[in-house]
Structure 1
Amino acid sequence: MGVIRTSLDWLYRISGVLAALCLIGILLMIVAQMVARWIGDIFPGAPQYAGYLMAAASFLAFANALNGGAHIRVSILLNAVPPKIKWVLEVWCFGIATAVIAYFVYYAYWFVYWSWRFNEVSQAQDASPLWIPQSVMVIGGVILLIAFIDNLVSVLSKGDHRLGSNVVDQSLGE
Structure 2
Amino acid sequence: MANLLDKFYRFLMGLSCLSMLAAFAAIMLGVAAREFGWDVQGLDAYAGYAIAATLFLALPGTLKHGDHIRVTLVMQRLPARAQNLLEYWCLIAASALSSYLAWFACRLVWVSYATHDVSPSADASPLWIPQLAMALGCIGLAAAFVHALWAHWKGKAFFDVHAEGELAKTE
- For normalisation by structure 2, the TM-score amounts to 0.90
Deviations 1:23-63 (A, max 9, x none): 11111001111121222111110000011011111110111
- Confirm whether residue 126 of structure 1 aligns to residue 123 of structure 2: yes
Deviations 1:82-106 (A, max 9, x none): 2211111111000000100111111
- Confirm whether residue 109 of structure 1 aligns to residue 80 of structure 2: no
Whole-angstrom distance in 1 between the partners of 2:162 and 2:131 = 30
Which residue is equivalent to 2:169? none
Which residue is equivalent to 2:134? 137
Whole-angstrom distance in 2 between the partners of 1:31 and 1:47 = 11
Instruction: Give the direction of change, closer, same or farther, for the CA distance of 1:99–1:31 in structure 2 (3 Å limit).
Output: same
Contact preservation (8 Å) 1:152, 1:161:
no
- Give the CA deviation at 1:166: 6.9
Higher deviation after alignment, 12-21 or 42-51: 12-21
Whole-angstrom distance in 1 between the partners of 2:149 and 2:126 = 36
- Confirm whether residue 56 of structure 1 aligns to residue 53 of structure 2: yes
Whole-angstrom distance in 1 between the partners of 2:116 and 2:131 = 13
- For normalisation by structure 1, the TM-score amounts to 0.89
Query: What is the DSSP-based 3-state SS (H/G/I as helix, E as strand, rest coil) of the residue aligned with 2:67?
Result: coil
Q: Which amino acid aligns with 2:161?
A: S
Contact preservation (8 Å) 1:116, 1:131:
yes
Which residue is equivalent to 1:6? 3
Q: Which has the larger helix fraction?
A: 1
The structure 1 segments of at least 4 consecutive aligned residues displaced by more than 6 Å after TM superposition are none
Percent identity, aligned pairs only, is: 33
- Give the CA deviation at 1:161: 4.5
Match runs of 1:2-151 below 5 Å:
4-151=1-148
Q: Which amino acid aligns with 2:91?
A: F
Unaligned stretches of 5+ residues in structure 2: 167-171
Whole-angstrom distance in 1 between the partners of 2:164 and 2:47 = 30
Q: How many residues align?
A: 166
Contact preservation (8 Å) 2:9, 2:60:
yes
